[in-house]
Structure 1
Amino acid sequence: MSKDGFLVYLNHEEGSIFNPAHKPIYQDMHQPLNHYFISSSHNTYLMEDQLKGPSSTEAYIKALVKSCRCVELDCWDGANGEPVIYHGHTLTSKVLFKDVIKAIKEYAFKTSQYPVILSLENHCSIEQQKIMAHHLTSILGSVLLTQPLGHQMPNTFPGPESSKKIKLAKELSDLVIYCKSVHFSNFEHSRDYHAFYEMASFKESKAMNLGPKLKRKEKKATPFIHHNMDNLSRIYPAGSRTDSSNYNPVPLWNAGCQIVALNFQTPGKEMDLNQARFLPNGKCGYILKPEFQRDPASQFDPKNLRVGPWLKKKTLHVMIISAQQLPKINKDKQKSIVDPQVRVEIYGVPDDNASKQTHHIDNNGFNPVWNTKFQFTIHVPELALVRFVVEDYDAASSNDLVGLYTLPFTSMQNGELVKISEKLLCSYYEFAHHKSCLLSSGYRHITEQDNQLKCPLQTLLG
């Protein structure tokens, strides 16, 4: 095998850190809708900040192409009888409601075949609500769900496979079938009075406070987790995030919240985690929640782990070996060659959260070699995400990002014993100046995924 052939072998899908069996849709897609995490966007129309940034149909297109399955439309009275979408009482620009619906019609199912939830924040007069209803029905046509599946309201959601009160126009109200917005008082009130198809929305701070407390002795799942077994919960960023920053979605997923809405226009760790959560299962925007977040008899509490089916304790062994041809990050610096270091982060239940990093290597972006071993204990693997971050070390200021890759722990391929001939070992040694990686317990290659990692990174997993 030639050096080029060996590189092709290393970069093949079978050698990827991401399990190719999780690339297509592989989960049961016939469970009730509330049994899934749903990729969701907040103020989807915004391209930048929440105060004066532009609104655009392009923002909806970008979100839908990324398999977002819940988009938000803030609807207000517009000129000439046409409703508009914008962040009310701010300087953000306006976009016609009908133009947004046209964009949704065209792009809703380009990446995923599964349902898109339109979250309408309605501030329109009765007259313009009727116009909204007309645009929804005339533009979306048969793709708009206008009556319960089976023609009768069942007692559970279908699966993905098939203060001042505002007066609501009947024409618009009749289009709301499965996700009727209601005010949340408390869990007991919701259990006794809310129908399954009624959905509450929570500001991030309130949702965090509804989560499990640090010291709980009850031998049952937290009330929020039980609520999310029967109802849909939508979480949205606090109004104080005027720069369109995002909160950490992981604690909300730990509580079983399905619609954890983020500002898709803002890159960063939070969106990395969101993309990773929805990376498997054909990138369809729906991920089946673990059974312990769906079973009414569950006693799961992410902050107070006890013996139960969620405890599938595993040890993750990672060896960061090397990287090749890392790009120059800041060409304005006198020294533009990177001093790379790699950090491995775990996100999940509190007991699993961890971070470890390699030493940095001076002036070598071409073929840095770390050979650094890490070990992590994962208590609840079904909720854990693993993030690899390559940075340009800087002693005087914050490090610059070189590249990253994030994926669910359960979608990682274990390392496999590599058996190759001595001739190939010598050939690889001459090429990469490192031989021991092929004699260790396993070898996986991390390459670019959705522009997250712009360089190859070698690692061992076990």
Structure 2
Amino acid sequence: MGGLRVGDGASAAGLDVGFGIRNGTSLEGLAIPAPWCNPSSDLNEDEDVLAMLKGSQFCKIRSLKWRKARFYRLQEDGLTVWFQRRFRHPKSHHVFFLQHIEAVRQGHESEGLRRYGSAFPAGRCLTITFKNRRKNLDLAAATEEEAQRWVRGLAKLRARLDAMSQREKLDQYPFFLNFLTWIHGYLHQADSDHDSKMSFKEIKHLLQMVNVTMDDMYAQQLFEECDSSKNERLEDAEIEEFLRRLLKRPELEEIFYRYSGEDRVLSAAELLEFLHDQGEEEATMAQAQHLIHTYELNDKAKQHDLMMLDGFMMYLLSPEGAVLDPAHKDVYQDMNQPLSHYFISSSHNTYLTQSQIGGASSTEAYIRAFAQGCRCVELDCWEGADGEPVVYHGHTFTSKILFRDVIQVVRDHAFSLSPYPVILSLENHCGLQQQSTMAHYLRTILGNMLVTETLDGKIPKELPSPEQLKGKVLIKGKKQIVHQKEEPRSDLPDEDKEDELKVWGCPQEWGSWDPGLTISPCPGNNFIRCNTYQLCRVYPLGLRMTSANYNPQEMWNGGCQLVALNFQTPGYEMDLNNGRFLVNGKCGYVLKPDFLRHRDTTFDPEHPGAPQTTLIIKVLTAQQLPKLNREKPNSIVDPLVRVEIYGVPRDCAQKETDYVLNNGFNPYWGQTLKFTLGAPELALVRFVVEDYDATSFNDFVGQFTLPLYSLKQGYRHIHLFSKDGASLSPATLFVHIQIKNQ
């Protein structure tokens, strides 16, 4: 059973170990250097950034009545924005991180500002959206110039952050950016008297906050070894030394020394040997040299194509050392096949932000879905007041949004992440007059984006490809049958009175079936064969009051393309969806396996054949797992790791490690989990970390899901996500992966 693992802080060839702090780094005031404060940066004297450092007062807007004055200021670290909630309570300070920002929009470009910001000129308004489920930040500045400064400044800082090379990040930060932002707040909190010195009591408090329970005698010994001044306080370099020892990675050192030999320096040839053993058989000497020049910190070592321990650790913690194959991060699949040959990321009840009974409907939900790579969104369309169709969950207490506002969001945001076609799945409950209004908005707002005829004007033999439909919007829906006589609107052009919704086919309903009983409502594999040339949309039953989801894997096994989920409902189902579409550039289209694309396929998910692939995962360690109960400093997680396989029924399995008592900072397991698979092309692998509880269900800590064929073999770090899909950086798992094909 693994416990806390810290070493003696020794350096390899004069370099600090771990992603430790290099000599000479000052932690005076526990500040972090800004990403723009080096001589080569073009932001040192940027007027927008300097104005943000001084701060600005904004009006935060939530409703017509809720408007509060807030003071926002960019912190000197260049990574966070500090804000004060209540001017009467000066201790009410909070921050948000630039790396968590999804987008910054100027003007009335959010639903909140369109509804409640009319009292402020559009030029003074801005909206900050975040990558996690945090609410939008709608603000009004005192002047238009001030709003523009923040919009431009945030854009420059975020662009600079994204564009920085790995080398620049290593040069500018004593240790990794994400770890800095993570540990920075804890150091401030633990320093209870704010004197930038840490007593033993404060150090113990820090350990508890970062998820470590350490034996008092061992903690006291480590504290005294670092207290070189012998004044019972750690400061500056002493704090650095304590953190350096805390951050040691013995398991990485062991791997490094195994390949580097007695000199404890990795040559390019030795690094190449490591890469080959990792399963990267095609790696070349040039690639090994490139890794050295990218991640090595010591200039003399780089000049001689040598890698020290620090550089090796940096490499393993980089995207190139992660479990996801870097080649799969971009669009790498053939995008010229018919639409029916792809799994397509699809949302159900897209307009909802909460439950389908009384939750809020919002156009922001569409924006977030598009930001996640969703390519098929749903609009439940109903008769609205003043002749305006509305979107909401009919016959419930969910709020309503205008159909035209949704279409405007489609126009403005549908292709923000992916250039490939978007499908609007219309559930039409409107009469003829408001149907005509809908058609009018579709044509006038979407313009040339809207597909209204086949690509060449001829009857096609097969569906077009994603490549052919780049930047296009398709309509999927059924013409509403109206029993009473209605006159079409006379104020619309004749072209909008015509029947839309029939370019490549007409939708038909198969009805409901229980996916737990059979994969298909048709005999044999006829259903799978149908899905090789036509699209099939699957969605949750309307009786799911909590907007719960189903397991999408069962439908993917049958070749269904549009497996729609409630994106607003976190859970393993959405983890699987996010994992399925994590690859191929997150473009929302993933090519189905070959055996799901041929019309004469004989594939049967119930009988995929004998296992052909063995997956062996050795779970080694975890790093900096988040605390689950921040209100209780003494509450430490007891982590275990479970690996789950989702695929055809025969391949589905899960296995887990033992739990480690009282250590979420750097627990060690060293346990091997083994799986056999018959249809690895369909399989998803989900890594889950939980907090063990002997008397109740385990608590979720973090997870990461990806297709089995996107796994990189060898020693890999897994960067974890929260329940709602947000990054838990710097929380990671460290594993060894081996895939054997018979």
Please tell me the TM-score bracket, short chain as reference.
0.7 to 0.9
Measure, in 2, the Cα distance between the counterparts of 1:212 and 1:120. Answer: 24
Residues 404 and 452 in structure 1, CA contact (< 8 A), matched pair in contact too: no
Q: Extract unaligned runs of 5+ from structure 2.
A: 1-11, 20-309, 469-477, 489-495
Q: SS in structure 1 opposite 2:734? A: strand
CA distance in 2, matches of 1:306, 1:264: 34
Whether the 8 Å CA contact 1:129–1:172 is kept in 2: the answer is: no
Of the candidates 703, 726, 732, which is equivalent to residue 456 of structure 1?
732
Q: For residue 444 of structure 1, what is the aligned residue in structure 2?
A: 716
Amino acid aligned to 2:338? P
Task: List aligned pairs for 1:216-255, cutoff 5 A.
Answer: 222-255=525-558
Q: Within the alignment, does 1:270 sit opposite 2:573 as a pair?
A: yes
SS in 2 for 1:183: coil
Partner Cα separation in structure 2 for residue 208 and residue 179 of structure 1 = 30
Aligned-partner Cα distance in 1 for 2:536–2:368: 24
Return the letter of the residue paired with 2:734.
Q
Deviations 1:103-161 (A, max 9, x none): 11111000100000000111111111111011111111111111111122212100000
Does structure 1 retain, via aligned residues, the 8 Å contact 2:608–2:679? Answer: no
State the partner residue of 1:198.
Answer: none
Match of 1:183 in 2: 509
1:13 corresponding residue in structure 2: 319
- Name the aligned partner's letter for residue 182 of structure 1: Q
Q: CA deviation at 1:177?
A: 2.1
Q: CA RMSD of the aligned region, Å?
A: 2.2
Identify which of 576, 600, 603 aligns with 1:300.
Answer: 603
- Given the two structures, how large is their TM-score scaled by the length of structure 1? 0.84
Deviation at 1:209, TM superposition (A): 5.2
SS for the counterpart of 1:180 is coil
Cα distance in 1 for residues equivalent to 2:733 and 2:436: 55
Shift of 1:283: 0.4
1-side partners of 2:608 and 2:416: how far apart? 40
**C-alpha distance 413-236 of structure 1, shift in aligned 2 (>3 A):** same
On the 8 A contact 1:445/1:459 being kept in 2, the answer is yes
**Counterpart secondary structure, 2:438:** helix
Asked if the contact 1:47–1:53 (Cα under 8 Å) also holds between the matched residues in 2, the reply is: yes
- Number of paired residues? 408
Aligned to 1:78: 384
Does structure 1 residue 405 correspond to structure 2 residue 704?
A: yes
TM alignment of 1:18-417, pairs within 5 A: 18-162=324-468, 166-167=481-482, 171=497, 173-178=499-504, 180-184=506-510, 202-203=511-512, 205-206=513-514, 211=519, 222-306=525-609, 313-333=612-632, 335-415=634-714
In structure 2, what is the equivalent of residue 193 of structure 1?
A: none
Deviation at 1:164, TM superposition (A): 11
Query: Partners in 2 of 1:333 and 1:341 — Cα distance?
Result: 21
**What secondary structure sits across from 2:663 in the alignment?**
coil
| Larger of the two Rg values belongs to structure | 2
Relative contact order higher in (CA < 8 Å, ≥ 6 apart): 1
Deviation at 1:396, TM superposition (A): 1.7
Instruction: Kindly state the Cα deviation for residue 8 of structure 1 after the two structures are TM-superposed.
Output: 1.5
Question: Does structure 2 conserve the Cα–Cα contact (< 8 Å) formed by 1:211 and 1:255?
Answer: yes
Whether the 8 Å CA contact 2:328–2:585 is kept in 1: the answer is: yes
Does structure 2 retain, via aligned residues, the 8 Å contact 1:276–1:407? yes
How far is 1:306 from its partner? 3.4
After TM superposition, the structure 1 stretch with the greater mean CA deviation from structure 2, 8-17 or 348-357, is: 8-17
Aligned to 2:93: none
Change beyond 3 A, Cα 1:328–1:179: farther
AA partner of residue 161 (structure 1): E
Name the SS of the counterpart of 1:401 in structure 2. Answer: strand
* Contact persistence 1:42–1:261 (CA under 8 A): yes
Letter of the 2:599 counterpart: P
* Conservation of the 8 A alpha-carbon contact between 1:210 and 1:224: no
Distance 1:304 1:116 in 2: 34
Letter paired with 1:446: I
Measured after TM superposition, the shift of residue 23 of structure 1 is 0.7
CA contact (8 A) 2:479 2:501 kept: no
Residues 179 and 237 (structure 1), Cα distance of their counterparts in 2 relative to 1, 3 Å cut: farther
Cα distance between partner residues in 2 of 1:404 and 1:207? 26
Q: 2: CA distance between counterparts of 1:172 and 1:89? A: 29
Paired residues of 1:208 and 1:252 also in contact (CA < 8 A): no
Q: Percent identity between the aligned chains?
A: 53
Secondary structure at 1:390 match in 2: strand
Aligned counterparts of 1:68 and 1:179: Cα–Cα separation in 2: 22
Displacement of 1:305: 2.3
**TM-score of the superposition, structure 2-length normalised?**
0.53
Say if 1:42 and 1:262, in contact at 8 Å, map to a contact too: yes
Contact in 2 for aligned 1:11/1:447 (Cα 8 Å): no
Unaligned runs of 5+ in 1: 185-201, 416-442
